Structure 1
Amino acid sequence: MTSNVPQHDPSDGPGFRPPARLWQERNPTWMGQVQDHHYRAAPEHPAGGSHPGPQPALASALRSAALPAPGGRSAGVVLLVAGGGALAFAGLFLVLPYLLANTGLAGFVVGFVASLIPLTAVLLAVFVIDRWEPEPKRLLVFAFIWGAVVSVAATLVIQPVFAMAAAPPPGVDYRTFALTVQAPVVEEFAKSLGLLLLLLLARKHFDGPVDGVVFAFTIAGGFAFTENILYFGSAIAQSSTPGADLAVAFFLRGVMSPFAHAIFTGSTGLILGLAARRWRVGLTLGAFIVGLVPAMILHSTWNSMGQDFLAQYVLVQVPIFLLAAAVIALLRVAESRLTRQRLTEYAAAGWFTPAEVSMLATGRGRRQAVRWAKSFGHGAQMKSFVGSATELAFIRQRILSGRNVAEHQRDEQQQLRRIAADRDALLH
């Protein structure tokens, strides 16, 4: 079956103007803005514009091409993971004794187990947010370890220095200053430093606000996990009524505010994700500084709640949480629209059918496709096809942004081959 969509020369470069409908819709969302001079054609399908289908010769050639995954283990990612692991190992020698000194062994064990409950809630949120275009597991592990160990160790090192450099203003006691200024500044800097490293060293996997939120939530979840061990364990070790104090601490931190740190650091991740669309080092560093401001303010606001805690929680913190949820929902909608548009451009070049694009661009369509494929034992192949197509859409977005075009075009070619092989696996 041949396509009735106007075709173009594969050599078309920047400035190429595709069919009118594609040109008008090239910016389907604020997440995917493309400058006119950066727009270029999607590469033609080898079949010469036909819609994809069973092509044994091509499929055989693709299966024999053992290509690495696009954006694989780059030097930056290897450095990031190895360096993060080394820092975490060293940080344990500071964090673990600190926790045990404040909780005791029994308190540490109870705190560790209790802290798994709010951590699970945060990681489930990460899973839901990250389902559309999942981040590499090794980077998520780095993010969690950075939050749980490295950022905590950095906080323990920096806090005394900050205390010597910044004294409380007249009329403010040190405890209030530490809660409302020192902790927000030091902790948010320590957590967000991991985000900055991810953006600088793993750029292919941090190319938008959703990625920023995913990594930020994971780092914050790790930090809150360790902090909860301290609070829950201290309620056991330093109280004459450990059961009651543990219940209060768990209700306040595990039930009422499991996402507090995630929302604080998430604001930094969102801003860094927006800056990632430009890929300029100066802009990235500026976004890091700017992104710390709302995180520190939100953190300070939370720590400032006192006797009227319940009223402030209902009137301030709950609306902030709902706003964060709404922003995440909008980001997911934007991802879906961007995926549809970029895959539509590949469909015009013969790589997908319109029905496939419709299926790949909605969560419902994907779920139905996987269920259908599972009915004849090809669920894994369909999941691979869906994941490959989604990654392809985001690779094209990177190409159209005008940054590192040649490198991303190589990734594009590898991903197109993988998609053709995935389709062939589904047909056999």
Structure 2
Amino acid sequence: MAAQHPPAAQLAATQTVWSGAPVASGSGTGFVFAVIGIVLGAALLLLVIGYFMASFGAGAVVISALVALLPLLGVLFAVRWIDRWEPEPRFALAFALLWGAGVAVAIALLVDLVVQIAFAIGGGEANAASEALSVAVQAPIVEEIAKGLGVLLLVWIARKSFDGPVDGLVYAAVVAAGFAFTENILYFGEALIEGGTADLGGTFVMRGIFSPFAHVMFTACTGIAIGFGVTRTRGAGILGYFAIGLVFAIGLHALWNGSLLVVTDFFGYYFLVQVPLFAFAIVLVVLLRRAEQRATRVRLQEYADAGWFADGEVQMLATSNGRRAARRWARTLPGEKSAAMKQLTADATRLALVRQRILSGRGGLETLGEERALLDAITRDRAAMLAPTGPAF
């Protein structure tokens, strides 16, 4: 499908203008359900925190929450780096964080409670075997399904911005970061109550330094699989990709949890198995980001060929070096022109992803309308950039 051509007046006026995605506003039922999910997640997080306070005391929970903020901020900083090419809408990220921190944790705790009650009713007694089964089998299955459901819901809630595996990775990482934050409060609180600050320090080293990205790595399997799914199928077909991702997520989670029960040399196992897995994950992230950048450049070049961009603008808008140079230059401009430069970059990136969706056969009339609106927005961005600066008074 050929890119739309601009009107003759726009084509004649296309000039190089030197050459953060805009916060996608929610619309329709998807945004409404995102708000409902955010409220539900926040309420369940407060309920879980209340449960922790009843178990450990308010002081221990406050200390544990402050300590748990450190790995959370580290993970979110890394996610921001991954997501900087085409940032996801804030409402979707808030949904992901609170789904992980509130809803997914509540599901895991509730299932664990039900299993314990059923076990007690059946006359069973807790022993090493049942504990191992809970850690190595129950926890990976329940937790990965609970977290993965949040990513799956975002396919619908954030359907205008869920464009591929990088987006799936970002959403999965934020869900996992939220889950790990609340789980860390639990483990840090237990350590503080049972062994004081010494045990808290040891637990922080294990969970906050050696494994802050463990949950992210597990759930990323589900997110990446769903991300590939949204580029290849529509409707119920996404469930197959969800299931494939869950298999890998549960497998990695079970490998991690199970190893902690059987290995005698944790550090040897960590550096021989987990470090290579983490290194592989980093390489995969870099490759996925480069693929997203290549797709942006190819799609924008099609619009440049149709007259929407001037020579050199694709290089500016679709490469890391070009964007860095454009940001430096934009900082020298008056405020409104600097903002227009940022908006042009954002709208062009979004346009490239929308065209990718159209070419893959996933775009209906709504997507075509989104393309038209972005082309009009780019025209306005350029006009704002080229507008004469008013006299200073």
Using the size of structure 2 for normalisation, the TM-score is 0.89
Classify the secondary structure of the residue corresponding to 1:204: coil
Aligned to 2:199: 245
Say which of 169, 174, 181 aligns to 2:137: 181
CA contact (8 A) 1:51 1:352 kept: no
Aligned to 1:78: 31
CA contact (8 A) 1:398 1:405 kept: no
How much does 1:419 deviate? 0.8
1:100-139 per-position Cα deviation (integer Å, ceiling 9, x unaligned) = 1333211111111111110011101110111111110010
Aligned to 1:118: 71
Please state if 1:384 is matched with 2:340. no
Aligned to 2:91: 138
How much does 1:363 deviate? 1.1
1:63-122 per-position Cα deviation (integer Å, ceiling 9, x unaligned) = xxxxxx897423232232132034224424641232113332111111111111100111
Say which of 148, 165, 187 aligns to 1:209: 165
Structure 2: unaligned runs, 5 residues or longer:
17-21, 388-393
CA contact (8 A) 2:15 2:310 kept: no
For residues 8-407 of structure 1, the aligned pairs below 5 Å read 40-47=1-8, 50=11, 52-53=13-14, 72-92=25-45, 94-162=47-115, 173-239=129-195, 242-306=196-260, 307-377=264-334, 378-407=337-366
Alpha-carbon distance in structure 1 between the residues aligned to 2:118 and 2:238: 27
How much does 1:200 deviate? 2.8
Cα pair distance change 1:182/1:339, threshold 3 Å: same
CA contact (8 A) 2:173 2:219 kept: yes
Cα pair distance change 1:119/1:71, threshold 3 Å: closer
Q: Matched residues, percent identical?
A: 47
Task: Please provide the CA RMSD for this pair.
Answer: 2.2
Give the length in aligned residue pairs. 372
Deviates more, 1:86-95 or 1:382-391: 86-95
Classify the secondary structure of the residue corresponding to 1:189: helix
Aligned to 2:381: 422
1:359-406 per-position Cα deviation (integer Å, ceiling 9, x unaligned) = 111111101011112112233221111111000000111111112332
CA contact (8 A) 1:212 1:266 kept: yes
CA contact (8 A) 2:167 2:227 kept: yes
Richer in helix (by share): 2
Alpha-carbon distance in structure 2 between the residues aligned to 1:263 and 1:80: 27
Opposite residue 413 of structure 1, the aligned amino acid is: R
Deviates more, 1:82-91 or 1:400-409: 82-91
Alpha-carbon distance in structure 2 between the residues aligned to 1:157 and 1:111: 22
Opposite residue 107 of structure 2, the aligned amino acid is: A
Regions of 4+ moved over 6 Å: 164-168
Opposite residue 361 of structure 1, the aligned amino acid is: A
Alpha-carbon distance in structure 1 between the residues aligned to 2:39 and 2:153: 15
Opposite residue 196 of structure 1, the aligned amino acid is: L
Aligned to 1:411: 370
Cα pair distance change 1:280/1:77, threshold 3 Å: same
Classify the secondary structure of the residue corresponding to 2:294: helix
How much does 1:251 deviate? 0.5
CA contact (8 A) 1:119 1:225 kept: yes
How much does 1:166 deviate? 9.2
1:172-223 per-position Cα deviation (integer Å, ceiling 9, x unaligned) = 7111111100110111111111011111332222120000000000000000
Classify the secondary structure of the residue corresponding to 1:50: helix
Alpha-carbon distance in structure 2 between the residues aligned to 1:131 and 1:115: 25
Cα pair distance change 1:93/1:329, threshold 3 Å: closer
Using the size of structure 1 for normalisation, the TM-score is 0.82
Alpha-carbon distance in structure 2 between the residues aligned to 1:155 and 1:131: 31
Classify the secondary structure of the residue corresponding to 2:38: helix
Alpha-carbon distance in structure 1 between the residues aligned to 2:327 and 2:273: 41
CA contact (8 A) 2:43 2:102 kept: no
Alpha-carbon distance in structure 1 between the residues aligned to 2:236 and 2:41: 28
Cα pair distance change 1:151/1:390, threshold 3 Å: same
Alpha-carbon distance in structure 1 between the residues aligned to 2:227 and 2:117: 34
How much does 1:345 deviate? 0.3
Deviates more, 1:312-321 or 1:92-101: 92-101
How much does 1:283 deviate? 1.8
Classify the secondary structure of the residue corresponding to 2:57: helix
Alpha-carbon distance in structure 1 between the residues aligned to 2:315 and 2:46: 52
Alpha-carbon distance in structure 1 between the residues aligned to 2:12 and 2:169: 37
CA contact (8 A) 1:371 1:379 kept: no
How much does 1:356 deviate? 0.3
Alpha-carbon distance in structure 1 between the residues aligned to 2:315 and 2:363: 29
Cα pair distance change 1:356/1:280, threshold 3 Å: same
Alpha-carbon distance in structure 1 between the residues aligned to 2:244 and 2:294: 28
Opposite residue 88 of structure 1, the aligned amino acid is: G
How much does 1:151 deviate? 0.7
Deviates more, 1:287-296 or 1:267-276: 287-296
